[in-house]
Structure 1
């Protein structure tokens, strides 16, 4: 007889679903399937069948499991799943995963050395990294991830799985999870995934009588029609269609002699009702009593630890060596109680969750408590520091042993450890458990820790309500220093979330505690929060000189008192305030921030400083090297959100340099991940850059489509609004030769900025707008001088237009030579912005023609050539029209013009002239050229004369040399 059936019975629909999704992975049709049902109903069997099918297809398989003992250990099921694969084949060396290695170090031990100490790990960043890893593993046909007992998983694992299922579509990944139908985060996750149609929810129903008979036949190894009807009836009635119970009951029938082998079949030899215990519990107890006492005691101890346990923990508690324990476990496995866990070398699990529960249920409560207490004390004696997750295990054992207060202290300590490791969701879970068990004397400390954990997890509404519940006075109250620190921390969280009312409330609470005095360390931290509050949109009063004075004092105090985080916050604030005076002051503050971060090993603040310094350098000079340095630092750190921030700035850099393919590559690579990770600020920024890429190519319809996406993602008064009007819409209007519309867009940007002062200076107010005003002869010299004196005039993008505006004004005043020199200066300095540079040439040439200065025809030819090649017909046509108005012949546009070298196109060489020019490489005479091109010698002579004039060659020999240089290949 078999302990289990060799085939899966009664699950044809679920098997078909899993098979369909598995085969669909070839087409990147990723999906998640949740198998939900009571213990023993067959979830694990279905998962095992899916694993077998995936292995037949040659797909990578990753398997992990939740358990009561690991529920307080962040990402434990994911760690098991990944290691179940990498322990065998090693970690992947794919270069695509390089940016994600630091984040993955949280769940892949071999990569933990890449993680940077001091970086607060983010569940969202880890989730995105795991998603990328699974995509790489499944690249050649798909991969399967199986997470069993998800209801026992920690909160951070649940958060990662939630992220994964929302983003599997389009990837070659199948995620299969099993869970009980009990209320909790896992079941809500499964139901939510089904509602969003990103997952399938398969609820396993009990087997019917025919299926129970088929299951029994598989165990008894005979055709179903030869299973005694009385056996099938009894199994169906008692098991209620639960496959595990069917197998256990059948084992009891055979073990008691009520069902005996008879030749090549089986017969009923006794009373099935009396042979089978009244419950599976008593049946398992009966089988347990047949074992050696040492094996029996080991199984009871293991059941106390949970459905899964490690050999190392048993060694720690019992003091026995590895060999005797392995022998005992081998006996337990042979008796059908436990099985080796496939996800870890030294891990074991009960054959079914009901097995451990049944064994414990057979023990008197007092005996269970004694076993749990002894196990807890043994672990504490062997490992007082409770390393490697043992803190949670001992807390659970103390709870089982009846010591709720002692368990609460350990749950709280475990929660604080997880919070320090960046697993805020798991920290909240553990601290909430501690809160429910804590003695009155310990509750305030637990609540304080829980408030910090909730703040880190972003659950701000709960944070502020729970903080209010802390006693204000009495034995259970926090001392003033801790209470002020708590309110200051919550004020910072609130101001970063732009919750001005909550920020004010927390500042007021802290000030009340200080009572008008207070430690300079405390007042410094509060001053920094108040300064950031003054920068929030619409905040009454705004930033003032007093704000800056207090922030500078706070920075000095923080550095003197060794408060590096407060110092970084203060210098960051001062840099923002200094931007209104100029970038030199702002950069000085950021350099100080960078120095503090490096001196105190604050990796996140270091990257923040590098990003801001890089952004300033890029805007001032067009040099993006420091942004790339910041991006590389963020990637080394595993800070995916900060890396996306840097990539967003690099996309803007590529846009301004008219490297539209590079900009699109960044947008395509980062747009979806930024949305998945809820990095909404950078997501909106990338959407605006995408719209501006279209605008700078004169593609209005595409621009409007992208702007619609931007507006849907940003329904608030965004600081990006003036950039939308100026850099995007106004620029597009100019490429359509619709100057009136461009002026309207720039006016809208200026009006918005008047209502919402900010330090984002690419709206056109300090560059493109003054140039258009100069062209329209509406520029006021004093107003223009004020613009030139503003810090924003130092930005390279703005400066190129201001130089041309100055040229227009000088030309109109009759100072043509100075005006032309400025145009040449702009050509030298701002060629790095080719679209803007050539648009500027087209605009300034108009004024030069009207006022009689410079070389407007040459500028127009240069601009026409650029915009013709770029496909911006309106500007190219306008340039040709102005060239004709100047009395100069315009080169015809014929097929093949794109083959002409740039300097010849700029000189006005036509396609037919270029045909003649190319044959001069062979030094052919006019007759030979005419014969090859099927034209008359006279026509060749005219083309040669034109080429000599346009290229400035003194004679035919020089023209032939030029042809060899340009066309020799």
Structure 2
């Protein structure tokens, strides 16, 4: 007889809290809950109750479970949960999810659109991909992600869980996980989230008193007062308030006849302390015996594998025929001891983790060792090469058998496989385990494991932990370790030092590696070392690293080492950029060609993005860059997509498309901050500050720059941009020329001390124009700067042409100066704000020196800045118009209704009203009556309109008005 309570007993408080959290999640206020407690305490029962409530409320429920034997198998609980959705659904139609679909194929291979394994850029990107998927699934009705037995989850899953828990606020998602209460990595994750107040940890206490009696009554289907008092006392003594143990004890007692139902009431027929099993081990043993004479032996052999066990190796261990094995499995399922594993064919699982633990505890050490060795032999024979999960399974069996060294080697192999697939977190766990177990093994074996572990720590974002292992190098840096492994260790440590910002330390590792390389030279190692050293030299040395990078690129192509070659050519594209974008483009074209030849899709996208960025800077056209963003998103190249989006947002600011730029920046700012990517975050904050600055919004600019500094912006590579492209422009829009010059000076001083690849800092454009206006730059200086690569960029070329015009106008070459202004206006065509700011600045010199068409330029600029809500510049334009002897436009109500082409001509509101009525070919008297003005005033307005529009006579002016409104003048 099997007893199980149909009711949830003693968990009213926890159930109410979970119900409230479900309601909040449906309303878009998500959160995470970790249920903790001993095995069998009722965590799964509470989860099931919450799940049923969620389903009744129309929410989507995704369920997955950790497992002991697959603790080092990447993402097992997440895969299982997402499979429950993917079995009946395809990818959600959500544009925000598109870029993350390739990353999701790591968990859901059936969503893969291209053959072969997809490269996962980082664990954080995968975590964000899972979050985006849950948002898409639960947007309309809410979603609950249920992860059971989290204590048995792999490291990668725990990292994703922590990321999700930290980012569920204001989302329609509830994360519900349960785990054992003992100390574990999963428990540390739960406690850390609770301390950050991003999750709730609910510890389930043992049932006592009335609750324990109510549970026993529910199991026995009777009233609480009908539970035999002696039975209740026995349960209180032996079950420790554990609901699962209560159920097992009741089932065992009823199975042995110690508990019977007679005359509608339950009775104890013998002393439960002596006649009924008082431990779970005895309970399992009794039930195992019920499925046949060999049942207990088979179950113990299965327990060697953990909660999950593979059928074929188990059959080989116990020597059963196919028929007998099937009979055992059927009997085990019928006895509620085991069940088919839903996640993998050919595997079964114990229904409760305690079952396997109880069975193992009943084995003496010699029995465990013998069964484990037989299991290793069976697994190795049935799975040659130990593919996939089998490597970890075999390693675990060797550990049970006490064979530490062999277990360590298998763990190292399994860790390297995970690292190659991109699962750095799980690889770290396995490689650390392997490294510790190989302490007494040969040094060369340990050196290889350490190299893999260091790389895994670096890729997993744990550079500090990797650096802490530097002390291990001394004992592995001797002749017992092959030179290739010693060099590999040093190269890896150099990369880790560079990632952590310890460039001098990185160069020290390079120096040591070169000493070994001199005695044991090998071209491949020399090439990898060149790339590392070149990367380090860009930060810690005044020597040009280009020689090393170029040598590495050429050698890598010849060997060939396509990945190293792409890396080296991309570094070269960065290094040669100050000499011009054309040379940088040649390097990027090499990356693109190598990537296409060797099928390196991500490198091809990286090259495509950077080529598009260079083209946009050169020509001011964002079409190619927008296409690159789409291609990067389609390929799942999230890093490249963010790089392209960052540049696109800034270019949209320069083009004056502020609304689109701010929308784009906001769309990835949250993700960038969530990913804790300092460089991207600095750039997006600088973009937002620049957008505010170019609209004259100082308060918003200062706020964004404050955040920029808090993210380390003043120690980064965007300092000159923050001064020259951001603050200097804002000062000019406030008509504070002195402050603008000071900002440009700070940008130049920073660049002098920190050579930069960024060219829009004012040094090659705006700053030259201000120098020309102050008579600090003449035609020769302007021509010299215009000949530089930075001077050819369209944004800079516009300001340089204006600077040259100012210098020429001052020297009496007014016609040439006028021609240069028109050329500058053409160059500035993509940049609306910059074009009008340039007109305001150059008109100042034109008025003073008596050349050009200052009134037209000033009216155009005044019109723009008036409409843009930048009164200081609009007012300055009107002042200059008056200095030029031209009446400035009066800003009366209704000015915004004047068509832009008429506003540029200086047409006033009243003149426009007359112009509208001329479309109907009315006379002066008629117009005067309609506008309540005198016919003479009408005549003056008509004369002014003839002058401003350049029409020959009144008839032509009427024709122009009629054509403007297509016969339908506004009322």
Q: TM-score, normalised by structure 2?
A: 0.94
Q: Secondary structure at the match of 1:440?
A: coil
How far 1:759 moved relative to its partner? 1.9
Q: Equivalent residue for 1:913?
A: 911
Relative to structure 1, the CA distance from residue 895 to residue 460 in structure 2 (aligned partners, 3 Å threshold; closer, same or farther) is same
- Measured in 1, the distance between the counterparts of 2:965 and 2:897 equals 10
1:510 to 486, 508, 513: 513
Aligned to 1:7: 7
For the aligned residue pairs, the C-alpha RMSD in angstroms reads 2.6
In structure 2, the partner of 1:870 is 868
Residue 255 (structure 1) aligns with:
255
Deviation, 1:620, is 2.1
1:966–1:402 CA distance, 2 compared to 1 (3 A): same
Give the whole-Å Cα distance in 1 for the aligned partners of 2:92 and 2:301.
39
Name the residue aligned to 1:896. 894
Q: Deviations over 1:724-773 (max 9, x none)?
A: 11100000000001111101111111111222222222211111111011
Q: Relative to structure 1, is the Cα distance of residues 577 and 432 closer, same or farther in structure 2, using a 3 angstrom cutoff?
A: closer
- Correspondence for 1:491: 494
Q: Separation in 2 of the partners of 1:710 and 1:718?
A: 10
Q: CA offset at residue 314 of structure 1?
A: 6.2
Q: In 2 relative to 1, CA 245–713 (structure 1 residues): closer, same or farther, beyond 3 Å?
A: same
| CA 533–437 in structure 1, closer or farther in 2 if over 3 Å, else same | closer
Contact 1:2 1:221 survives alignment (8 Å): no
Alignment partner of 1:481 out of 480, 484, 497: 484
Name the structure 2 match of 1:730: 728
Please say if residues 2 and 220 of structure 1, whose CA atoms lie closer than 8 Å, have aligned partners that are also in contact. no
Tell me the secondary structure at the aligned position of residue 19 of structure 1.
helix
- What are the residue-to-residue correspondences of 1:731-880 with 2, within 5 Å? 731-779=729-777, 783-880=781-878
Q: Is 1:469 matched with 2:467? A: no
Shift in Å at residue 411 of structure 1? Answer: 1.6
Q: Distance in 1 between matches of 2:313 and 2:918?
A: 88
Aligned to 1:395: 395
Corresponding position of 1:110 = 110
Instruction: Report the equivalent of 2:452.
Output: 449
1:273 maps to which residue? 273
- SS class of match (1:515): helix
Kindly state the Cα deviation for residue 956 of structure 1 after the two structures are TM-superposed.
Answer: 4.2
The 3 A distance-change label for structure 1 pair 311 and 635 is farther
Q: How far off its partner does 1:780 sit?
A: 5.3
Where do residues 598-677 of structure 1 align in structure 2 (5 Å cutoff)? 598-677=596-675
Is 1:577 equivalent to 2:575 in the alignment? yes
Which string of whole-angstrom CA distances, capped at 9 and with x for unpartnered residues, describes residues 566-604 of structure 1? Answer: 323332333333233333222222222332233233333
C-alpha distance in 2, partners of 1:447/1:623? 49
Match of 2:529 among 526, 531, 538: 526
Distance 1:158 1:17 in 2: 24
Select which of 496, 501, 505 maps to 2:504: 501
Distance in 2, matches of 1:128 and 1:346, equals: 33
Q: Deviations over 1:216-247 (max 9, x none)?
A: 01101112122122221111111111111111
Contact between 1:444 and 1:476, CA under 8 Å: does it hold in 2?
A: no
* 1-structure distance, mates of 2:915, 2:10: 82
Distance 1:626 1:498 in 2: 34
Q: For 1:619 and 1:225, how far apart are their aligned partners in 2? A: 83
Q: Is the 8 A contact 2:26 2:173 kept in 1?
A: no
TM-score by length of 1: 0.94
CA gap 1:885/1:605 in 2 versus in 1, 3 angstroms? same
Say which SS state the counterpart of residue 81 (structure 2) adopts.
Answer: helix
Question: What secondary structure, in the 3-state scheme, does the structure 1 residue paired with 2:177 have?
Answer: strand
* CA 1:412–1:524: 2 relative to 1, 3 Å: closer
SS at match of 2:886: coil
Whole-Å Cα distance in 2 between the matches of residues 152 and 891 of structure 1? 76
Q: Which residue of 2 aligns with 1:959?
A: 957
Match of 2:556 in 1: 558
> Which position in structure 1 is the counterpart of 2:441?
440
Q: Is the partner of 2:599 in helix, strand or coil?
A: coil
Q: Is the 8 A contact 2:782 2:804 kept in 1?
A: no
* Partner residue, 2:195: 195
Q: CA deviation at 1:70?
A: 1.7
C-alpha distance 939-226 of structure 1, shift in aligned 2 (>3 A): farther
SS of corresponding position for 1:134: helix
> The residue matched to 1:305 in structure 2 has which SS?
coil
Q: Is the 8 A contact 2:35 2:201 kept in 1?
A: yes
For the structure 1 residues 192 and 905, does the alpha-carbon distance in structure 2 shift closer, same or farther, using more than 3 Å as the test? Answer: same
- Using the TM superposition, give the Cα deviation of residue 116 of structure 1 relative to its aligned residue in structure 2, in angstroms: 7.3
Deviation of 1:624 after TM superposition, in Å, equals: 3.1
Query: Does the C-alpha gap of structure 1 residues 262 and 563 become closer, same or farther in structure 2, counting only changes over 3 Å?
Result: same
Contact 1:118 1:601 (C-alpha < 8 Å) held by counterparts? no
How far apart are the structure 2 equivalents of 1:394 and 1:5?
38
Residue 97 (structure 1) aligns with: 97
1:473 positional shift: 7.3
Partner Cα distance (1:317, 1:666) in 2: 61
Maintained 8 Å contact 1:531/1:543:
no
Q: 387-396 vs 165-174, which deviates more?
A: 387-396
Report the Cα distance in structure 2 between the residues aligned to 1:550 and 1:595, rounded to whole angstroms. 21
Q: CA deviation at 1:695?
A: 0.2
Structure 2 Cα separation of the partners of residues 817 and 638 of structure 1: 54
For residues 407 and 558 of structure 1, the distance between their equivalents in structure 2, rounded to whole angstroms, comes to: 36
Q: Give the corresponding residue for 1:365.
A: 365
2:301–2:317 contact (8 Å) kept in structure 1? no
Measure, in 2, the Cα distance between the counterparts of 1:755 and 1:746.
15
1:317 and 1:953 mapped to 2: Cα distance?
104
- Superposed, which structure 2 residues align to 1:279-318 within 5 Å? 279-293=279-293, 296-309=296-309
5+ unaligned residues in a row in structure 2: which ranges? Answer: none
Match 2:680 to one of 679, 682, 685? 682
Aligned length: 964
1:446 CA displacement:
2.9
Contact 1:21–1:31 (Cα < 8 Å) also in 2: yes
Name which of structure 1's ranges 481-490 and 32-41 shifts more when overlaid on structure 2.
481-490
**Residue pair 2:131, 2:164 contacting (<8 A) in 1 also:** yes
**Residues 392 and 414, structure 1, Cα contact 8 Å, conserved in 2:** yes
Assess, with a 3 A threshold, how the Cα gap between structure 1 residues 944 and 293 changes in structure 2: closer, same or farther. farther
On the 8 A contact 2:487/2:525 being kept in 1, the answer is: yes
1:188-227 to 2 correspondence within 5 Å? 188-227=188-227
SS of residue paired to 1:68: coil
| CA displacement at 1:265 relative to structure 2 | 2.2
Alpha-carbon distance in 2 for matches of 1:460, 1:932: 79
Moved more, 704-713 or 272-281: 272-281
Deviates more, 1:903-912 or 1:164-173: 903-912
Deviation track 1:63-119 (CA, whole Å, cap 9, x = no partner) reads 111112221211111111100122134442333321111111101122234587573
Secondary structure of the residue aligned to 1:70 is coil
Match of 1:431 in 2: 431
Please report how far the alpha carbon of residue 687 of structure 1 lies from its aligned counterpart in structure 2 after TM superposition: 0.3
1:472 CA displacement: 5.8
Q: Tell whether the 8 Å contact from 1:841 to 1:859 is kept in structure 2 after alignment.
A: yes
Partner SS state of residue 64, structure 1? strand
- The separation in 2 between residues aligned to 1:920 and 1:329, in whole angstroms, is 97
Matched position secondary structure for 2:100: helix
